[in-house]
Amino acid sequence: MNISALQQARYAYNPKLPSSLKNSINDIVLESGGPTEAVTDRDELRGIFKLSYGKPIVTFAKGKNDKIGHELKVGVILSGGQAPGGHNVIAGLFDGLKKGNPNSTLYGFLGGPSGLVGNKARVISQAEIDTYRNTGGFDMIGSGRTKIETPEQFASSLETAKALGLDAVVVIGGDDSNTNAALLAEYFLANGSKIQVIGCPKTIDGDLKSEHIETSFGFDTACKTYSELIGNLCRDSYSAKKYWHFIKLMGRAASHIALECALQTQPNICLISEEVEAKKLSLDKIVEQICASIVKRAENGDHFGIVLIPEGLVEFIPEIKQLIHELNDTIAAKEEEFASIGSFTEQVNWLSSRISNVSHAILQTLPPEIAREFLMDRDPHGNVQVSRIETEKLLVDMVEEKLGVMKGNNLYKGKFSALTHFFGYEGRCAFPSNFDSDYCYSLGYSAFVLIASGLTGYLSSVKNLTAPADQWIAGGVPLTMLMNMEQRHGSKKPVIKKAMVELNGKPFKAFEEKRGVWAEKTSFLYPGAIQYFGPPEVCDSVTKTLLLEHEK
Ligand code: FBP
């Protein structure tokens, strides 16, 4: 295989483990707390998860464990979008299994959860693992977004696991995938099977977290990668002094990535969707805020700047949210008829009598290329694909228009030249930072200990993450503890509660305190590229979000 010098060097990197996992494998035992409860909707969830609800939180301690050496067969699934460190979760799980018993087997399900449903799996070998250690990507076994939801899918998942003789299935995924893991664990128990299910918290979006899951893996590397790029643009704009860069950042609904990148780079503006929703800010109001910074900076002679925009913003702007809602419902009800309409103008006309006048008027005031994006193909759930709406271009268009009007009224005399960017895929398969390499390996290793100890319906957890790795606290959190009931496709469903940016939380407060100055004065920080070898303060740093959340 052709590999880069960095990849070769990363093979030799030994991920750091919490001290409880450094004990000889037969000397790790569980310590359990008391019964737990779900976030809300406890009675309903207790009824749905009759056999797996309310188990205790567990941590690991030193002590003799004679279960650990049993020969095991485990299947692992990578689920959803790529996140740096996935291969290390598999490596940690593999190493734990082999240390427990060299005859144990790890199967990789191919292409995500559909591999479990359709029995597409293969054995992962030692030689293969060694070519993926500390590397980015999910290419070892591939990933997918299949949701296991129909009775047939649950039944065939159990059939596959039985056919392979599995003791356990490990699901490496985000909130939806781990909701699936919780449902699978309950289904297996309800059908008299002893096959265990363990989850691992993955997503660059950073929205799978709680008191006991401090962060999802991949968030650290992705934010550092985007922040490097944003920092480079900050420096370019400061050098050339002629462009405003409007940068949309991945993250789906939650704005954790945008907020973290803002803390790392100190841009002039960073929009936070959760704040837009809480303050019911209209599109016009947002544009006004951006223009205020542009005007103020122009008065200081600074015709350049940086604006960060979270991917899901449009869904949080009240009038656009309403428009999207009406479009989703209307198009879903007449999917074929809508698909047969030839031109964009005809589509807009067709909608005129079917959506509210207000929403129709908004659709018509949007720049046509953006309005077209609102009418594009829906996702498998019938929703508009917000990540494909070019919010960054919409904002630039609207800012240009507003500044034009202000110029006409002699309220603005400066220049405005903008460039747009979208950073998302660029960060999802980066070489995992030391933090993500260590965290992921520990999560995988910890998943093995949970399996060997006979647990099911748990999410592998590693806490105390701002301390050096040997002080991290490894263990497991019952998946039902993270759940609540939400309305999905017309009925209430048990789901893991998405963690959004908390406006009372320390990361947002830290940003709020400084952003007034950043909007006017150039205060950029240039974080540079992720460093893998060098002093710990440079190589092992954690995100500002984690640091602030841990501040006493
Ligand atoms: P997960 O929630 O599955 O981890 O996905 C993260 C993400 O990168 C989002 O930030 C983004 O909106 C989405 O995946 C893009 O999905 P796709 O890879 O299907 O284009």
Give me the tens of pLDDT residue by residue for the chain, a chain 552 residues long: 689 999 999 999 999 999 999 988 989 999 999 999 998 999 999 999 999 999 999 999 999 988 899 999 999 999 999 999 999 999 999 999 999 999 999 999 999 999 999 999 999 999 999 999 999 999 999 999 999 999 999 999 999 999 999 999 999 999 999 999 999 999 999 999 999 999 999 999 999 999 999 999 999 999 999 999 999 999 999 999 999 999 999 999 999 999 999 999 999 999 999 999 999 999 999 999 999 999 999 999 999 999 999 999 999 999 999 999 899 889 888 888 998 998 999 999 999 999 999 999 999 999 999 999 999 887 766 677 877 899 999 999 999 999 999 999 999 998 999 999 999 999 999 999 999 999 999 999 999 999 999 999 999 999 999 999 999 999 999 999 999 999 876 678 999 999 999 999 999 999 999 999 999 999 999 999 999 999 999 999 999 999 999 997
**Which of 203, 257, 422 is the pocket-test mutation for ligand 1 (most atoms within 8 Å of CB)?**
203
Which ligand 1 atom is nearest residue 311's CA? 12
- Which residue's CA is the nearest one to ligand 1's atom 8? 81
544: Cα within 13 Å, side-chain hemisphere: 21
**Which of 208, 215, 252 is the pocket-test mutation for ligand 1 (most atoms within 8 Å of CB)?**
252
DSSP string, 316-369: GSHHHHHHHHHHHHHHHHTHHHHHT--SHHHHHHHHHTTS-HHHHHHHHHS-HH
| CA–CA separation, 377 and 242 (whole Å) | 37
Q: Verify whether ligand 1 is closer than 6 Å to residue 248 (CB atom).
A: no
Give the per-residue pLDDT at 382. 66
**Strands 121-123 and 105-109, how do they pair?**
antiparallel
The residue among 36, 35, 53 whose CA lies nearest residue 494 is 53
Instruction: Say if residue 126 is exposed, middle or buried (CB neighbours under 10 Å; 0-12, 13-18, 19+).
Output: exposed
| CA–CA separation, 53 and 36 (whole Å) | 8
Instruction: Say if residue 8 is exposed, middle or buried (CB neighbours under 10 Å; 0-12, 13-18, 19+).
Output: exposed
Which ligand 1 atom is nearest residue 80's CA? 3
Among all residues, which ones are annotated catalytic? 205
Distance from Cα 205 to the centre of ligand 1, integer Å: 8
Which ligand 1 atom is nearest residue 257's CA? 10
Which ligand 1 atom is nearest residue 216's CA? 4
Q: Verify whether ligand 1 is closer than 6 Å to residue 81 (CB atom).
A: yes
| CA–CA separation, 346 and 343 (whole Å) | 5
Contact 293, 519 (CB under 8 A): yes
Which ligand 1 atom is nearest residue 386's CA? 12
Which ligand 1 atom is nearest residue 203's CA? 4
Residue 280 backbone zone (phi > 0: left; psi -120 to 50: alpha; other: beta): left
C-alpha distances out from residue 212 to 171, 462, 479, Å:
18, 8, 11
Give the per-residue pLDDT at 380. 65
Contact 382, 328 (CB under 8 A): yes
Give the per-residue pLDDT at 406. 95
- Which residue's CA is the nearest one to ligand 1's atom 20? 81
Q: Verify whether ligand 1 is closer than 6 Å to residue 16 (CB atom).
A: no
C-alpha distances out from residue 509 to 338, 431, 479, 501, 515, Å:
45, 31, 30, 11, 10
Q: Verify whether ligand 1 is closer than 6 Å to residue 252 (CB atom).
A: yes
Q: Verify whether ligand 1 is closer than 6 Å to residue 428 (CB atom).
A: yes
Give CA torsion, residues 205, 206, 210, 215, to 10 deg. Answer: 140
Distance from Cα 120 to the centre of ligand 1, integer Å: 23
Contact 445, 92 (CB under 8 A): yes
Q: Verify whether ligand 1 is closer than 6 Å to residue 113 (CB atom).
A: no
Q: Verify whether ligand 1 is closer than 6 Å to residue 204 (CB atom).
A: yes
| CA–CA separation, 242 and 297 (whole Å) | 12
| CA–CA separation, 244 and 540 (whole Å) | 32
DSSP string, 58-105: EEEEES--TTTTS--EEEEEEESS--TTHHHHHHHHHHHHHHH-TT-E
Q: Verify whether ligand 1 is closer than 6 Å to residue 251 (CB atom).
A: yes
**Which of 147, 175, 204 is the pocket-test mutation for ligand 1 (most atoms within 8 Å of CB)?**
204
Q: Verify whether ligand 1 is closer than 6 Å to residue 177 (CB atom).
A: no
Distance from Cα 417 to the centre of ligand 1, integer Å: 31
Kindly report the pTM of this predicted structure.
0.96
| CA–CA separation, 438 and 456 (whole Å) | 24
Contact 406, 412 (CB under 8 A): yes
Residue 528 backbone zone (phi > 0: left; psi -120 to 50: alpha; other: beta): left
The residue among 78, 123, 126, 75 whose CA lies nearest residue 98 is 126
Distance from Cα 203 to the centre of ligand 1, integer Å: 8
| CA–CA separation, 508 and 259 (whole Å) | 7
**Which of 177, 387, 426, 429 is the pocket-test mutation for ligand 1 (most atoms within 8 Å of CB)?**
387
Distance from Cα 337 to the centre of ligand 1, integer Å: 30
| CA–CA separation, 124 and 133 (whole Å) | 13
- Which residue's CA is the nearest one to ligand 1's atom 5? 81
| CA–CA separation, 510 and 488 (whole Å) | 34
